[in-house]
Amino acid sequence: MNIILVSGKLNKARTITLAPPQLWFATALLLALVVALAFGLQYATLRYAEKLGSPFLNTLIASVQQKQNARMETYVRENLDAMATKLGEMQARLLRLDTLGERLAKGAGFKPQDFMFDRPPAQGGAVSSLPAYEMSMPELNQQLDQLNQQLDDRGEKLSILDSLMIFDSAKKKLVPTNLPVQGGWYSSNFGWRIDPFTGLRAFHEGMDFMADTGEPVHAAAGGVVVYSDLHPQYGNMVEIDHGNGLSTRYAHLSKREVKVGDVVLVGGEIGKVGSTGRATGPHLHFEVRQNGAPLNPARFLKLPG
């Protein structure tokens, strides 16, 4: 690019030649000056707008501030809405955890009021030596997210614990602890004794409960009836399978009230006391067996005294 300078003070015209790099540099410098001048003018206008007393500038500044305030209010409102949603979810989870905690406390033998689930936990402590500060919105959101994750984790663990306690309770209901005859007293224990028919020393594989004929006989635990028939020695006999190889036998019944395949609950009536089979009088012969081997029923039953 050539620039020709003509003047009356010059004897002849001068020609200035600008190469492309020099042209680009001059253009960039000019643009930088224009931008700097514009920013400077804007700053001066905003800085001294009140002193200038221009209605137009005051209106322009007020409009800009309103837009900024509106954007800020929208941002705060959106964050508050999100926080309110998180807070609602956390309150629902806390209510569920409180209900689950009360059930677990009751199942473990504690009184729910001992834990005071309906009250906020008491807190306190000395003033910290470190300076306190206000939490920012991102920090508050982060704390809420962490608390939400902790609630989920505690909820899953308490649910697993609840399942285990329910399973353990169900297992206990399948262990023969309930007395098969209410009010009856046992006349013969488990173990070696003098046989009432032969007079010889023989092993007694169960316990005998004295009771009147027709007295109800109850299942010592829940299970499935696997035998209900007339036995040559036990007379009318019912056998209940409680799972895990554990079973109970109820012999010398005058009447059987269940059949094979029936599901019975703990305490359910399964027959009547009698003296059928090898018996000297009305009583209930009760056995507990593990994989067919006889066990001492006293280890299981809640015997009076």
CB of 42 within 8 A of CB of 33? no
Mean pLDDT for 91-103 is 74
Q: Is the pLDDT of residue 239 over 80?
A: yes
Q: How far apart are CA 136 and CA 233, in angstroms?
A: 84
Beta strands per DSSP E along 116-245 = 185-188, 191-194, 201-204, 207-210, 216-218, 223-231, 235-243
Question: Which pLDDT does position 124 carry in this prediction?
Answer: 75
CB of 238 within 8 A of CB of 218? no
Q: Which of 293, 171, 295, 165 is nearest to 242 (CA)?
A: 171
Q: Which helix (H) or strand (E) holds 286?
A: strand 283-290
Architecture of the domain whose range is 185-299:
Distorted Sandwich (2.70)
> Which residue has better confidence, 113 or 209?
209
Q: Is the pLDDT of residue 50 over 60?
A: no
Q: pLDDT-derived band of residue 34, with 50, 70 and 90 as boundaries?
A: confident
Q: Which segment of 36-45, 92-101, 165-174, 231-240 scores lowest on mean pLDDT?
A: 165-174
Question: Which pLDDT does position 183 carry in this prediction?
Answer: 75
Q: Where are the domains of the chain?
A: 2-47, 185-299
Report how far Cα 252 is from the mean position of its chain's Cα atoms.
49
Q: What token pair was written down for 247?
A: 């079973």
Helix, strand, or coil (residue 151)? helix
Q: How far apart are CA 155 and CA 178, in angstroms?
A: 35
Q: pLDDT-derived band of residue 262, with 50, 70 and 90 as boundaries?
A: very high
3-state helix, strand, coil in the chain (%, to 5): 40, 25, 35
List, as own/partner pairs, every contact residues 72-80 make where C-beta atoms lie below 8 angstroms and the sequence separation is at least 24, other chains included. Answer: 79/137, 79/141
CB of 289 within 8 A of CB of 206? no
The residue written with tokens 């514009």 in the block is 38
Question: Which pLDDT does position 2 carry in this prediction?
Answer: 60
Mean pLDDT for 283-305 is 88
Q: Is the pLDDT of residue 305 over 60?
A: no
Question: Which pLDDT does position 9 carry in this prediction?
Answer: 61
Average pLDDT taken over every residue of the chain: 80
Helix, strand, or coil (residue 95)? helix
